[in-house]
Homo-oligomer: A and B are copies of this chain.
Amino acid sequence: MSNTNKRTSLLLNWYANPYHTPIFVAKQLGFYKEQAINLSIIQPTDPSDVTELVGQGSIDLGLKAMVHCYAARSRKYPVKSIGTLMDEPPTGLIFSKKSSITSFNDIIGKKLGYVGEFGKIMIDDLAKRAGIATDQYETVRVGMNVANAISKGIIDAGIGIGCFQKVELEFNHDEIEMLRIDELAGLGCCCFCSVMFIAREQMLEKESLLLKKFMKATQRGLSFTLENPHKAYEHVCQEYPKLDTPLYKKIFVSCLPFFSRTLLNTERDWEKVGLYAERLQIVPKNYDPKQCYTNKFIPEIPYAACKPIIRQPLKSHA
């Protein structure tokens, strides 16, 4: 059996959606195939399964946020980020303008939806900072159904992404508001919600060439998406026709500014989220962020005419 027949598995962080476009484009245009990677793109029904399935070695690769990497490692699942798909998508508590919420203090007496374990920890941390006791509001685990649960009145507000769930709710002609978590928690930016490619350490050692090839093909998919967004989305719809709807097209356009342009892990973001994870008591004090990520599988680019410049993952925040 040739190498191309062995499947490499990638478990998305969410059901297949427009911000996975670079991956679907790379698959549809044969970029993974050219690298002899037979990629199976799979979706969770509960996003909380991803780090565990990757961490225990059942699945080769996953998508997940930084805080999940920290949490996984502190639970002895040795996962590492090998790159960034989405950079700092604005994230917050989303609710209809018709609700009586205007500031965070209005959560008192309300039902708040969160995706998984860490969403609840974040809400409780925000409440604590605002001097609100945990029995003054109710939390509801809603998994991937945030927008639906708000629409149906199951929750009054829920944690979601500005360029996804907010757009989803606005599509039904509701006026939607968002209280940004980075502002409420004093984080300075939404890097805690960036979407990372993760793999476990054993894979990093044993499958170094495969990971380089994977990132090379993904980088091509990403560049194609950034430089040809309209064509890219047509390819996605061919590969996964469920995404061929006006709503998902609108979400795709809304996500365009938040795709990573380099795939690089950003040292500063890892440091910030490390401190946040420490505050949330997800990791012990002074945990070294460098344990959580590596950029060594990301393809280099030529600088023929310029003096050699060391690639640095540092960047500034909006």
Contact = CB atoms under 8 A, between A and B. Distances in A.
Interface of A: 87-88, 90, 162-163, 185-189, 219, 222-223, 225-230, 250, 253-254, 256-259, 261-262, 264, 268, 271-272, 275-276, 279, 301-307, 309, 311-318
Q: In the assembly, how many copies of this chain are there?
A: 2
B301 A189 contact: yes
Given A262-B317, A264-B316, A253 B230 contact: yes
A302 B186 contact: yes
A306 B223 CA distance: 32
B223 A318 contact: yes
Contacts of A219: 318
A74 to B, nearest CB: 20
Given A253-B230, A302-B188, A316 B313 contact: yes
B230 A254 contact: yes
Contact of A301 (B262, B264, B276, B318): B318
B276 A305 contact: yes
Pick the most buried of A88, A301, A307, A315: most chain B CB atoms within 10 A of its CB.
A315
Contacts of A304: 186, 188
A239 B276 CA distance: 41
A135 to B, nearest CB: 25
B261 A318 contact: yes
Contact of A257 (B186, B256, B279): B256
B262 A318 contact: yes
Given A256-B256, A315-B316, 12 more contacts: A88-B261, A186-B304, A227-B257, A229-B256, A253-B253, A271-B309, A272-B303, A272-B306, A272-B309, A301-B318, A311-B317, A313-B316
A226 B318 contact: yes
A270 to B, nearest CB: 12
Contacts of A307: 271, 275
B188 A301 contact: yes
A220 to B, nearest CB: 11
Contacts of A259: 257
A140 to B, nearest CB: 26
A67 to B, nearest CB: 14
A257 B254 contact: no
B257 A305 contact: no
A197 to B, nearest CB: 16
A154 B276 CA distance: 59
A316 B309 CA distance: 9
A314 B314 contact: yes
A314 B315 CA distance: 6
A188 B262 CA distance: 12
Contacts of A302: 186, 188
Contacts of A312: 314-316
Nearest to A307: B275
A230 B162 CA distance: 13
